[in-house]
């Protein structure tokens, strides 16, 4: 079958970061007991796929590995489905994101950039007819991460005020759109004026330069930037507020962790990673019910995947890059 896969890893200083990327053919997958085969109609790209090509989160002995975490397609009975990318141990019960043996598709099990992908039966969620395959394929990683940050870990409710740092990011744009759809007051920061303007267009009520003093203290901050914005995030919270962190794009080491403020204002620091099958189903229902849709930067044939990888590596995207079959 057709597949986009990693055949080798590029060294960190390589001229061509995609030297290990192959657009070619791989054997048809065979579904083990309890698994199902999904015919992929659309899949979307994440930074995770770029890191996989450098060997981050992927072991050499797992190569060749079909890339891709996110997909929507048809199950064996022809039902339209969204694929949940978190594969947990078959014996695991409860929240899959707490399973220490969980993996994301394309880490241990072959990924979604192919004609077909096999996943545990419980890893498919019905796709509503109102949503295109391209839109549905955006949800399983960045959008699910944003949903869990806001509504599970952040426990935010309509009427609360939230700050989203680094408005141009993949997770950050999902946070802005979902927070607005969920009835929150949405403040966002970006270093870039054009990205601040786009943030307003997609649902932010107010935008500020990174690090600017805000006119109000917020109930929660959604952090994916890390070092560059941490101090500002802590200083923007009301007493008892929460910072929810799912990434550290600018680095994980802090100049000032603001520990005094954290204890004196009784702030809560909450980690968040991916989401459960149940949360993916709730996200799909939320989008179906509100008419809100993921932002798609471009949808291109999967045969042109190299173009999508290059655009993401250049930071030249606002929203998701989708590959169609």
Ligand X SMILES: NC(=O)c1ccc[n+]([C@@H]2O[C@H](COP(=O)([O-])OP(=O)(O)OC[C@H]3O[C@@H](n4cnc5c(N)ncnc54)[C@H](OP(=O)(O)O)[C@@H]3O)[C@@H](O)[C@H]2O)c1
User: Binding pattern to ligand X, positions 277-306, x when CB under 6 A?
Assistant: ------------------------------
What phi, psi does 309 have (nearest 5°)? -60, -45
Residue 63 CA to chain centroid, in angstroms? 23
Interhelix angle 170-181/277-290, nearest 10 degrees: 60
For residue 57, what are its two tokens? 């989160």
Q: How far is the CB of 120 from ligand X (least distance, A)?
A: 19
Output the smallest distance, CB 42 to ligand X, in A.
19
Would you give the binding string for ligand X spanning residues 242-271, x where CB under 6 A is met? Answer: ----xxxxx---------------------
Vertex 235, ends 233 and 238: CA angle to 5°? 100
The verdict on 276 binding ligand X (CB under 6 A) reads no
Identified binder of ligand X from the candidate list 123, 190, 233, 236, rule CB under 6 A: 190
Taking CB atoms, the residue at the shortest distance from ligand X is: 247
Q: Binding-site residue total for ligand X (CB under 6 A)?
A: 27
Residue 124 and residue 105: Cα distance in Å, rounded?
13
Which burial class, exposed, middle or buried, applies to 202 when counting CB atoms under 10 A from its CB (0-12, 13-18, 19+)? middle
Give the interface segment with ligand X, choosing from 4-12, 88-96, 162-170, 297-305 (CB under 6 A): 162-170
The yes or no reply on residue 44 touching ligand X (CB under 6 A) is no
247: left (phi over 0), alpha (psi -120 to 50) or beta: beta
Residue 225 CB, shortest distance to ligand X, in Å, is 4
The rounded distance, in Å, linking the Cα atoms of 167 and 218 is 16
Of 36, 44, 52, 145, which one interacts with ligand X (CB under 6 A)? 145
Peptide bond between residue 324 and the one before it cis (omega within 30 degrees of 0): no
Residues that bind ligand X (CB under 6 A): 47, 141-142, 145, 166-172, 190-192, 195, 210, 224-225, 228-229, 246-250, 273-274
């Amino acid at each position: 079958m057709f597949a986009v896969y990693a055949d080798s890893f590029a060294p960190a200083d390589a001229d061509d970061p995609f030297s290990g990327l192959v657009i070619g053919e791989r054997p048809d997958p065979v579904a083990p007991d309890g698994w199902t085969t999904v015919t992929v109609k659309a899949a979307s790209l994440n930074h995770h796929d770029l890191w996989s090509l450098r060997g981050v989160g992927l072991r050499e002995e797992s190569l060749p590995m079909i890339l891709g975490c996110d997909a929507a397609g048809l199950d064996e009975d022809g039902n339209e489905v969204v694929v949940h990318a978190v594969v947990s141990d078959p014996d695991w019960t409860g929240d899959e994101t707490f399973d220490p043996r969980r993996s994301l598709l394309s880490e241990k099990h072959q990924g979604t950039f192919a004609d077909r992908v096999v996943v545990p039966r419980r890893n498919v969620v019905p796709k509503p007819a109102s949503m295109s395959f391209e839109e549905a394929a955006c949800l399983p990683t960045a959008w699910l991460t944003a949903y869990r940050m806001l509504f599970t870990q952040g426990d935010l409710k309509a009427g609360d005020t939230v700050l989203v740092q680094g408005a141009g990011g993949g997770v950050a744009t999902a946070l802005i759109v979902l927070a607005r759809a969920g009835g929150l007051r949405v403040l966002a920061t970006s270093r870039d004026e054009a990205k601040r303007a786009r943030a307003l267009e997609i649902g932010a009520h107010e935008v500020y330069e990174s690090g600017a003093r805000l006119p109000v203290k917020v109930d929660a901050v959604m952090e994916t930037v890390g070092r560059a914005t941490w101090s500002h995030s802590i200083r923007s919270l009301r007493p008892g507020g929460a910072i929810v962190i799912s990434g550290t794009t600018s680095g994980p080491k802090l100049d000032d962790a603001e520990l005094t403020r954290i204890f004196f204002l009784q702030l809560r620091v909450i980690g968040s990673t991916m989401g459960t099958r149940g949360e993916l189903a709730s996200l799909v229902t939320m989008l179906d019910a509100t008419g809100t849709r993921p932002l798609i930067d471009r949808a291109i044939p999967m045969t042109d995947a190299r173009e999508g990888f290059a655009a993401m590596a250049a930071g030249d995207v606002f929203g998701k890059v989708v590959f169609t079959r």
